[in-house]
Structure 1
Amino acid sequence: MKSSVRAVLGLAGGALAGLALMAASASAQTIAITDGRILTGSGIIENGTVIIRDGRIAAVGASVPVPAGAEVISAAGRVVAPGFVAVDSGLGGNEVSSQPEANDLRQSSNSISAAFDLSWGLDPWSITLPVARLGGVTRAIVVPSHPGSSGGHDHNHDFAGLGASGHHEPGLFAGQAAVIHLAEGTEIIVQPRVAMVAPFGNAGANVAGGARGALYTLLRETFAEVRLYARNRAAYDRGDVRALSLSRADLEALVPVVEGRMPLIVTVHKANDILMALRIAREENIRLILDGAEEGWMVADQIAAANVPVLLNALANLPGSFERRASSLENAARLHAAGVLIAIKGNEGSVHRAREARYNAGNAVAHGLPYEAGIAALTVNPARIFGQQQRFGAIAPGLEADVVIWSGDPLEPLSQPVAIYIRGVAQPLYSRGLELRDRYRPGQQPGLPPAYRN
């Protein structure tokens, strides 16, 4: 079969290009994206070629031959990048922020906290997914919300107490995060239960009773109980173990954490709280991920020495609370310079504004973060932090083909995707918002009901 050639169209024809590419990918097992500026996630290849075969990256380089019979997509004058990974996100779990029934990121049971697995409630038909996808986001780390989280505050259960069942309410742990992809289809879960989530700082102290000392004491006691349970499951079943403060489901969920198999994401802001979190992780042998860390630049060397990654919002520069009084737009650059592995997240829980992560990365670059580090903070770094680097996060042979062709620099706000592939399948370049725009725009075509016409 003779190779066919399609030029990637400009922004005005982007939607038509997307539909054409979808049809092409459905019929072609091999796709060659040629002549683009390729951001691999770890470097830049000028005038390079990416070969996609059976949903994976088969080859990438400056002089890669195009296989016979491949569907050829010219990306001349364009930028080819890995799909972005939204971290600390609520995508698929929070549809309308003002409607509690549309929020599956939080729960208030007094017998389940760490065992809360939000992956069961994530919606593949969520209108938030196509919007994020149009910002180049192809994967997300979805996390449960809790008091103090960026995904939304839970003021109804900010303080500790014992619920009707005798268990601690609210739980110190918010639940378990999941990895999803944003491709069209009915199954978006990539991997559930990839990390445990808990609040630290003021929010964690309030949950524990109102003081940081209570939080750290409660954490240590909780980890001790989990280890006791893990060593004595049979005795626990017989009732020969002393009463424990957590339900069996929560104890089981925390076993991978205390055994170092599951990382613990702690939302923390203040430099001193960061040091306390590092100390607990060291003494309890816990794998830690810092979320927020607005004052992280003050203790960047200690974070780097502990080999602890950070999820951050690069725009956090105002002292919105006492915990964030030393926030700085240079936080990302200083942490990176110290050797900390960073991932840059979107705004307001990375749900409706998940696509803004690339703007935040652009601002971090403007304040000292190297450009390639800014791209890595959206792609390969999140994959590494959550153990997904063998699946996605870069344009490299063997990885799943999450590839976006951009009209220009993806860190520039005016640049837009002209083609999006997830697992090698071209995705539509539209969202519910664009559909509504086209339905109600002036001069709409005749034949629609009167309410749809101007």
Structure 2
Amino acid sequence: MKKLLTSLMLAAAVMAPASAQTTLIHNGRVVTNTSLGVIENGAVVVRDGVIVSVGESGEFQDESVTVIDAQGGWITPGLFHPHTQLGLIEVGAEPSTHDDAADNSSFTAAIDVADGFNPSGTHIDSTRIEGVTRFAVHPNTGSAILAGRGALADASGEPDSLFATRQFMLVDMSQSGARTAGGSRTAAWAFLRAAIEDARFYPGRFMSHHEGDAIDRYDAAALVGAVRGEMPLVMIMDRAADIRRAIAFAAQYPAITIIIAGGAEAHLVADDLAAADIPVIYDPMRNLPDSFDTLASTNEGAAIMHAAGVQLAYTTVGSDLYFNPRLLAQHAGIAVAHGADWDDAFRAITLTPAEIYGVGDQYGALATGYVADVVVWDGDPLEVMSAPTHVLINGETQSLETRQTRLRDRYAEVTDDHAYAYEH
């Protein structure tokens, strides 16, 4: 007799239509990210890509159901990385493989990462096998501080893996943005305000003289969504002084939803961020002052912001955003090692990123009705030596093979039985 589900969960499984595909994931420590908390010996029922039940394991046997035995490991929602360039860069040193920024383009807000995203990028595979099932795709700035519109994707590598386009607008208000804007932060803020005014009065302003003060009509049309609060405006910044300016900006433009990305010194203004209800995308592993914007960076920053009530999602910007998003769980473990609660840290790489981008009712938790992004781990997911044994995206079991694992397997036990290399 297989040890599976309670009678309530069994009913959810066996009452499905004959054509439904049902998967039972059981015999593991289930982290739900809901009011159910952690179920020490639990199971998850998945049908046609959606979670239909979560609860305690029981006794059941049905040969028509696909069974995944966690073997006492952990069963969690898939990880959600809020800040990557996955699918936009293949080789960092080869410009022809970059679609993250358009340095010589006259377009700004109108740039859309969906037009350059490659779902077959090899770094997506290496990210998926580390438990990341969803991620945000961020553009980089080119000719202006407005970088363009970002998107959300799953890590399946399928052609339709980009599931939400034009999901947010990105603007660089850091020291690099200051350089792009003309040499100072004052110029960057002046440009941003002028661009917002152009968008606020679109299309009327462009009917009279056909020119905006900062951006053209095409870019203004793209920026309208952020100005009206239909998509968040992600502000790249690290310095506490800049974050205070962003808080004041949010009060000046209450219709605009702001997200801070970077935030190396955000812990210095944690109470103000919490009061203003401004989320932060933050790397707990950044603890070295690599610029004058990050002098106060510390590994304790995540714990301070969690304690203050800041809505916090973790990123891997300190490692890399195009080939090291796979290290997301490790960075969360660093936060725990420096004072963050485990529950807060795990939420910061699952449910909170989904909530920040407006899809928290579909992803980031194990609950009835949620999309079945489920990961089975052989140990604590925030422990660096743990690894996924199964990854499900949309209820489909994913391959844990990558180009790197194939190379490893190919050359792990090579023996020289031939006189010439061409004979291998």
What's the TM-score, normalizing by structure 2?
0.90
- Select which of 350, 362, 366 maps to 1:395: 366
Would the alpha carbon gap of residues 334 and 435 (structure 1) be closer, same or farther in structure 2, given more than 3 Å must change? same
Contact 1:4 1:71 in 2 (8 A): no
**1:48 counterpart letter in structure 2:** G
Q: Report the number of matched residues.
A: 404
Residue 374 of structure 1, CA deviation = 1.0
Which residue is equivalent to 1:205? 178
- Select which of 305, 315, 324 maps to 1:353: 324
Counterpart of 1:297 in 2: which secondary structure?
helix
Cα distance in 2 for residues equivalent to 1:434 and 1:345: 25
Cα distance in 2 for residues equivalent to 1:209 and 1:272: 19
Would the alpha carbon gap of residues 200 and 415 (structure 1) be closer, same or farther in structure 2, given more than 3 Å must change? same
Residue 391 of structure 1, CA deviation = 2.1
Which residue is equivalent to 1:49? 43
Would the alpha carbon gap of residues 280 and 269 (structure 1) be closer, same or farther in structure 2, given more than 3 Å must change? same
Residue 85 of structure 1, CA deviation = 1.0
Q: What is the correspondence of 1:417-436 to structure 2 with a 5 Å cutoff?
A: 417-436=388-407
Greater displacement, 219-228 / 27-36: 27-36
Matched, 1:443 2:408: no
Cα distance in 2 for residues equivalent to 1:4 and 1:56: 23
Which residue is equivalent to 1:246? 215
Cα distance in 2 for residues equivalent to 1:31 and 1:104: 38
Counterpart of 2:76 in 1: which secondary structure?
strand
Would the alpha carbon gap of residues 444 and 197 (structure 1) be closer, same or farther in structure 2, given more than 3 Å must change? farther
Counterpart of 1:195 in 2: which secondary structure?
strand
Cα distance in 2 for residues equivalent to 1:140 and 1:316: 20
Matched, 1:313 2:283: yes
Counterpart of 2:201 in 1: which secondary structure?
helix
Matched, 1:334 2:304: yes
Matched, 1:260 2:229: yes
- Select which of 72, 79, 85 maps to 1:77: 72
Which residue is equivalent to 2:153? 180
Counterpart of 2:289 in 1: which secondary structure?
coil
Which residue is equivalent to 1:408? 379
Counterpart of 2:146 in 1: which secondary structure?
coil
Which residue is equivalent to 1:279? 248
Contact 1:439 1:452 in 2 (8 A): no
Residue 109 of structure 1, CA deviation = 4.0
**2:282 counterpart letter in structure 1:** L
Would the alpha carbon gap of residues 131 and 446 (structure 1) be closer, same or farther in structure 2, given more than 3 Å must change? farther
Which residue is equivalent to 1:99? 94
Q: What is the correspondence of 1:375-386 to structure 2 with a 5 Å cutoff?
A: 375-386=346-357
- Select which of 20, 34, 55 maps to 1:61: 55
Runs of 5+ consecutive residues of structure 2 not aligned to the other structure: 5-18
Residue 240 of structure 1, CA deviation = 4.8
Residue 357 of structure 1, CA deviation = 1.0
Residue 310 of structure 1, CA deviation = 0.6
Q: Deviations over 1:24-64 (max 9, x none)?
A: xxx97001111210111343111011000001111101257
**1:279 counterpart letter in structure 2:** A
Would the alpha carbon gap of residues 306 and 445 (structure 1) be closer, same or farther in structure 2, given more than 3 Å must change? farther
Q: What is the correspondence of 1:6-17 to structure 2 with a 5 Å cutoff?
A: none
Would the alpha carbon gap of residues 65 and 4 (structure 1) be closer, same or farther in structure 2, given more than 3 Å must change? closer
Contact 2:75 2:374 in 1 (8 A): yes
Q: Deviations over 1:92-128 (max 9, x none)?
A: 1111000111011111244211110011211121111
Q: Deviations over 1:249-296 (max 9, x none)?
A: 210111011111111111111111100011112202221100111111
Would the alpha carbon gap of residues 444 and 55 (structure 1) be closer, same or farther in structure 2, given more than 3 Å must change? farther
Cα distance in 1 for residues equivalent to 2:149 and 2:58: 42
Cα distance in 2 for residues equivalent to 1:400 and 1:120: 25
Q: Deviations over 1:197-228 (max 9, x none)?
A: 11113122222222222222222222112112
Which residue is equivalent to 2:125? 130
Larger relative contact order (CA 8 Å, sep ≥ 6): 1
Cα distance in 1 for residues equivalent to 2:223 and 2:178: 20
**2:124 counterpart letter in structure 1:** L
Q: Deviations over 1:161-201 (max 9, x none)?
A: xxxxxxxxx22201111100011422211101111011113
**1:46 counterpart letter in structure 2:** E
The alignment's C-alpha RMSD in Å is 2.3
Cα distance in 1 for residues equivalent to 2:196 and 2:58: 52
Cα distance in 1 for residues equivalent to 2:297 and 2:372: 37
Residue 427 of structure 1, CA deviation = 0.6
Runs of 5+ consecutive residues of structure 1 not aligned to the other structure: 7-26, 147-156, 158-169
